[in-house]
Every structure is written in structure tokens, then in C-alpha cells.
Amino acid sequence: MGITKSEIFTAEQNKLASLFKALGHPARIAILQYIINQKACICNDLVDELGLAQATISQHLKELKNIGIIQGTIEGKSVCYCIDEKLWKQIQEEFNVFFNQEVIVTSCCS
């Protein structure tokens, strides 16, 4: 075990969980905040700002790229990472759809 049984869940559940999961690390939250505020968008600058090794930052950037929330464009010998605003809003919307589900209150807790 240790492996998630994705096959017993719907595609939507797996998708939503993977989005949450990608944001479920403080380094990735910090990276996104730096990029948003344009304090840093270059991998090396992020390495200086956060206290993590270059290999580690690169790995986190990859995970963020995987869900599409950021994209990287080559700028000379470095890479500029930016928020994909369309996907940013789309992910926010997916989260809100989830949270806006109406809670049925025929609950045994009430």
C-alpha cells in the first residue's frame, strides 16, 4: 500500500484532489506568492528568497507547472515563471463550485 486507489473515485474527485494536493505545500504557496507579487519569478531568485536548494525549488516549480497554474518562458539563460491567469481563475472557480455545494441539513448532528 501507500498507493492511492484512484480507480475507485470519479475523474472529478481525482482532479480536484490533485489541484488541492499541488497547493498543499508551504514552499509552493510561497513560490506562488512571490511570483504574484513579482518579488521573484526567476528560479534562482526564488532560491535566494526561500531557504531551499535549487534542485528543490525546481522540483516544486515543476509540480506547479504540472497543474498549469504557472508557466515558464525562457529569458536568456534563465526562465521566468508566471501565473497563468486563466488557469488561476479556473482553479479558483473549481474550488468555489466545490465549496458552494449546498449542505443538506437533515443532518443527525443538528
Residues binding DNA (CB under 7 A):
1-5, 21, 24-25, 27, 42-44, 47, 52-56, 58-63, 72, 74, 76-79
Continuous segment of H or E residues that includes residue 72: strand 70-75
Q: Please state the φ and ψ torsions of residue 72, each to the nearest 5 degrees.
A: -115, 135
Instruction: Give the Cα separation of 36 and 58 in Å (integer).
Output: 17
User: For residue 29, how many C-alpha atoms fall within 13 Å in the half-sphere facing its CB?
Assistant: 6
Query: What single letter denotes the amino acid at residue 21?
Result: K
User: Which of 9, 44, 48, 62 is in the footprint of a second copy by CB under 8 A?
Assistant: 9
Q: Of the two residues 23 and 87, which places its CB atom closer to DNA in the complex?
A: 23
Instruction: Give the Cα separation of 77 and 3 in Å (integer).
Output: 38
74 contacts which partner out of DNA, a second copy, none, CB within 5 to 8 A by kind?
DNA
Q: Is 33 in the site for a second copy (CB under 8 A)?
A: yes
DSSP three-state, residue 40? coil
Q: Of the two residues 53 and 93, which places its CB atom closer to DNA in the complex?
A: 53
Q: List interacting residues with a second copy (CB under 8 A).
A: 4-6, 8-10, 13-14, 16-18, 20-30, 33, 36-38, 41, 50-52, 71, 73, 75, 80-83, 85, 88-89, 91-92, 95-96, 98-104, 106-110
